[in-house]
Amino acid sequence: MTEVYIVDAVRTPIGKKNGGLSGVHPADLGAHVIKAVVDRTGIDPSDVDDVVFGCVDAIGGQAGNIARTAWLAAGYPQHVPGVTVDRQCGSSQQALHFGAQAILSGTADLIVAGGVQNMSQIPISAAMIVGQQYGFDTPFGGSTGWTERYGDQEVSQFRGAEMIADKWDLSREDLERWALQSHERAKAAIAGGRFEGEIVPLGDATVDEGPRETSLEKMASLATLVEGGRLTAAVASQISDGASAVLLASDEAVRKYGLKPRARIHHLSARGDDPIFMLSAPIPATQHALAKTGLSIDDIDLIEINEAFAPVVLAWIKEIGADPAKVNVNGGAIALGHPLGATGTKLMATLLNELERREGRYGLLTICEGGGTANVTIIERV
């Protein structure tokens, strides 16, 4: 049976809104990590079969198939194609999945998978804002089938996060304690140099810009996002800029090109859940992945679950029974940022490096996504 290996994984530092990466064209952000993964692995770029990149709000500098543009901006051969994936916040994780599936099918041997997002230049939901000039107020309004099924109720990540906090009985204090821990873990990871093996500096941007000095007292002073709610900006992921990439290889490519893989793809899948809750799908997706593999959550040594909002992670921990000490051990998107289309392979780079540092065996990555879906990837260190 064909195996899929991760040969290397890299990312830019994650820039905060209007920070050190805000002026970089998305194609150049993508090109930077593509060149880094090619240089670090020593592959001939002519041997790459495809470039699969995640990106959300593909307009402006992110339009026109950013995967292809970024590859060409890197100066690499024109015969190598590219394709852009939008599975919302899990876009680059899905890019990794599509790349791995191409290798498993026997139709490819070397894939560069990754993602890019410059949220300073192109704000979240920019595509929907542009769509308003064509008469669309939301992606759903005007759809007979959608309205018959879900009505005209609000569909938003903010409402979904509040609903999750309510359903799983998560207090504001619970959420803020997790957010504070995210910042503390991220700052400790930066101080300890734990991200140095995955970050490829770009210009003056050399470290993640998101982590900040805060406290439970400061968080408690913030207004909630909605009246009577539990969420504040302190428990939400940060608006960010960045790019990330991984090199995937078949066992044949590993032998042919003398590559040294770092991990094997043990499992990949995706599942959906209620699109109104929107952010709860990592729960059934993880349950499905564990059932398919025969693993228990206790078999997993490290976990990265995207901190879109604190209740997403805390509800998942409650439902899955995971040890919180294994979850987002170097902080998450609340502290480090969430550059939408780049987050999946960014988290994979972090998971891979930390798994090696701890000499663990299995790592699990899952991300909640707009539309109520979630991907799960399980890797095994080699």
Rounded distance, CA 248 to CA 47, Å? Answer: 12
Q: Is 89 a catalytic residue?
A: yes
* Pair type for strands 302-305 and 362-369: parallel
> Residues 6 or more apart from 280 whose CB is under 8 A from it?
160, 164, 273, 274, 312, 315, 368, 372
Query: What is the C-alpha radius of gyration for the chain, rounded to an integer number of angstroms?
Result: 20
Q: How far apart are CA 240 and CA 245, in angstroms?
A: 17
What span, in angstroms and rounded, lies between the C-alpha atoms of 263 and 5? Answer: 6
Distance (Å, whole) CA 160 – CA 349:
28
Q: Which residue among the candidates 97, 183, 266, 338 is catalytic per the annotation?
A: 338
Reading the block at residue 166, the tokens are 């309510």
Partner residues linked to 118 by β-bridges: 241
Helical pair 26-41 and 66-73, crossing angle rounded to 10 deg: 60
For the chain, what's the residue count? 382
Closest listed residue to residue 16, CA positions, set 339, 233, 368, 307 = 339
Handedness of CA 161, 165, 170, 171 (dihedral sign): positive
Q: Which residues of 120-156 are buried (b: 16+ CB within 10 A; e: fewer)?
A: bbbeeebbeeeeeeeeeeeebeeeeebeeeeeeeebe
Q: Pick the catalytic residue from 32, 55, 89, 266.
A: 89
**For residues 186, 191, 197 and 198, what is the CA-based torsion angle, rounded to 10 degrees?**
30
Q: Which of 32, 55, 266, 368 is catalytic?
A: 368
The two three-digit tokens of residue 272, written as one number: 């959906």
Alpha-carbon distance of 27 to 46, in angstroms, equals 19
58/353 Cα distance (integer angstroms): 30
Catalytically active residues are 89, 338, 368
